[in-house]
Amino acid sequence: MIFSVYYLAALVLAAGDFCGRLARWRVVAPVWGAAPWCSVLFVSYAGQLAIVYAAAQHSPWPIALVPAVPERGDLVTASLLALGAVQVFALAGLYRARIGAAVVATGAAMLALSWFAPVFLNADIYAYVGNGLLGIGAYAPPNAPFSGDFSVINARWETPVPAATYGPLWLTIARLVVTITPSLAGKLLAFRALGLISFVALVALLRACGLPGRILALAALNPGLLLQFVVDAHNDMLPIVLVVAAAAIVRRLPYAACALVVVAALVKLPYAITGLPVLAALYPATRRYAACAAVVAAAMLLSWLGGGAGYARALLGYASSTGLLSVLHFGAALAAVAAILAAVAGARRLRGAVWLMPMLGAYTASWYAIWSLPYALGRRNVLVYLLVWFPLVSVLAEPSLARPWTMVFVIPALVAVSLRYSLQPRPS
């Protein structure tokens, strides 16, 4: 099974951290000003978008999409991985720098670059347009293609399109987004606008959580986050914003925080589980556990009421068709649940455990790494670890860039190195 290497890598890293064997020796980034690191991040990110654009020159889509196996695919993947590694080191260096105007200016420039990028790495955004056009009918799509320019959705996702596996709230939001403009290209950009707004909201809410400017900079200038959630506009950014908002108010407004996690799960059901660590701030423990149980129950009930049997069938059909019940996948998902429950109970949060959370999905995808953010929020060094490594991981786990040699050589080598060396972005 192609995803087995991801499951095994996540289990090894989590176990290594649990046993105290993750990164004994540390490679420390040099202390420079923020401006040089900002320049490296901007140039490397622009280089990634240029490489993707060059690979997608013959794509038939309104906004170019990299094919699953692009021409010169090995070169494309290797180049993007090399730039991702540079970005990891640059983020580690930025964390040690004094935050100033250069960070704000670079963040604005990278957002503009993301908005105007004429490419996508992934076709999910086309499915989002289909979700909006079908509404609640997306849980049981008709066996007929979309008309006019929208038939390109079927060219990518076949006829009928796959049943939606997103929550009923997402279908409502998608329905509203597609009404903004009549053209397919306009609808695609409308979803990108939603991703951009959500990304800015994330940075603002991380600040509301009391995080220092150097951590905010890691999020605001993160090429991996920008590529996945602004350029490709994956809809996980919206529930993440809701869960981070819950973390910002959980001590003052615990009931509202619980409600926000439930709303996030109505966009995408896994957040009923991955969002629970933000409720660890509730005391006493009995109140905390009761709140978590209520959140899960409310998310399940409201999902059923909003999506009905069609939503349930779509989820079960999707899970059964993607090997979710394989032994290795099941073990990784079980370890992820255990890490989440331990975090809720107040136990130590592990850096290595952040790579377990994506295993709760039916398959592994690069954008699922954001599911670890609620877990990482409870411990700053875990959050820094996740944000610093996100650009490289988001390329390494990107389905459209997967190559045999990344599975057989790169991922095992990276795990082996991570067990011995660590890029330690200590603040200066």
* pLDDT per position as a tens digit, 355-400: 999 999 888 889 999 999 999 999 999 999 999 999 999 999 988 8
CA 106/CA 83 separation, integer angstroms: 17
Structural domains counted in the chain: 1
d(CA 76, CA 100): 34
User: Range of 211's domain?
Assistant: 4-423
Give the per-residue pLDDT at 2.
66
The pLDDT of residue 327 is: 85
**34 within a domain of the structure (yes/no):** yes
**Tokens standing for residue 352:** 């290595």
What tokens were used for 221? 């200038």
* Residue 23 scores a pLDDT above 80: no
Which structure tokens are listed for 178? 């597609």
The answer to which of 70-84, 126-140, 151-165, 268-282 has the lowest mean pLDDT is 70-84
Phi, psi of 322 (to 5 degrees): -120, 15
Q: What is the mean pLDDT of residues 52-77?
A: 81
Regarding predicted confidence, which is higher, 110 or 98? 110
Tell me what percent of the residues of the chain surpass a pLDDT of 70.
94
Domain membership flag for residue 301: yes
Q: Which two tokens stand for residue 329?
A: 């996948």
- State the pLDDT confidence band at 253, using cuts at 50, 70 and 90: very high
Mean pLDDT of 287-306: 98
Task: Examine residue 329 and state whether it is found in any structural domain, yes or no.
Answer: yes
Asked whether residue 67 carries a pLDDT value surpassing 80, the answer given is no
User: Strands 64-65, 25-27: parallel, antiparallel or unpaired by DSSP?
Assistant: unpaired
Please, which pLDDT band fits residue 62 given cuts at 50, 70 and 90? confident
Cis ω before 284 (30° cut-off from 0): yes
Mean pLDDT for the stretch of residues 251-266: 98
Side chain identity at residue 39, one-letter code: S
Give the orientation angle of helix 4-18 with respect to helix 411-418, to 10 degrees. Answer: 0
Q: Retrieve residue 251's tokens.
A: 């001590």
Residue 428 lies in a domain: no
> Pick from 218, 191, 236, 249: which is nearest to 357 by CA?
236
User: Residue 35 and residue 176: Cα distance in Å, rounded?
Assistant: 40
> Which residue(s) pair with 26 in the sheet?
422
Q: What is the pLDDT of residue 323?
A: 55
Q: Comparing 202 with 424, which gets the higher pLDDT?
A: 202
Residue 412 lies in a domain: yes
Residues 398-420 have pLDDT tens digits of 888 888 899 999 999 999 888 87
Give the residue-averaged pLDDT of 275-289.
Answer: 96
Give me the amino acid identity at 116: F
Whether residue 27 is predicted with pLDDT greater than 90 in this model: the reply is no
- pLDDT at residue 25 is higher than 60: no
Q: What is the pTM of this model?
A: 0.95
Cβ atoms within 10 A of the Cβ of 134, count? Answer: 22
CA pair distance 5, 54, nearest whole angstrom: 29
Residue 75 belongs to some domain of the structure: yes
Residue 302 lies in a domain: yes
Q: What is the pLDDT of residue 423?
A: 63
Q: Is residue 320 part of a domain?
A: yes
Q: Is the pLDDT of residue 17 over 90?
A: no
Q: How far apart are CA 29 and CA 94, in angstroms?
A: 9
pLDDT tens across 300-339, in order?
Answer: 999 999 999 999 999 988 877 655 558 888 899 999 999 9
